[in-house]
Structure 1
Amino acid sequence: MADYNQAKMLLEIQQLSFVAVELNLYLDTHPEDQQALALYNSTHQSLMQCVRKYESIYGPLVNFGYSPAMQNYWKWVDSPWPWEIKY
Structure 2
Amino acid sequence: MDKQMPKEFYELLENIQAIDFVLVELTLYLDTHPNDYIAIQQFNECAKQSKLLKKQYEKSYGPLRQYGESYSGYPWNWGDAPWPWQV
TM-score, reference length from structure 1: 0.90
The alpha-carbon deviation at position 45 of structure 1 amounts to: 0.1
Residue identity matched to 2:71:
P
* RMSD (CA atoms): 1.0
Residue 2 of structure 1, aligned match among 1, 5, 11? 5
SS of residue in 2 equivalent to 1:75? coil
* Unaligned 5+ runs, structure 2: none
SS of residue in 1 equivalent to 2:78? helix
Q: How many residues align?
A: 84
* Unaligned 5+ runs, structure 1: none
The alpha-carbon deviation at position 73 of structure 1 amounts to: 2.7
Please say if residues 9 and 50 of structure 1, whose CA atoms lie closer than 8 Å, have aligned partners that are also in contact. yes
Moved over 6 A (4+): none
Please say if residues 59 and 75 of structure 1, whose CA atoms lie closer than 8 Å, have aligned partners that are also in contact. yes
Please say if residues 63 and 76 of structure 1, whose CA atoms lie closer than 8 Å, have aligned partners that are also in contact. no
Please say if residues 23 and 40 of structure 1, whose CA atoms lie closer than 8 Å, have aligned partners that are also in contact. yes
Residue 38 of structure 2, aligned match among 35, 40, 44? 35
Q: Name the % identity.
A: 39
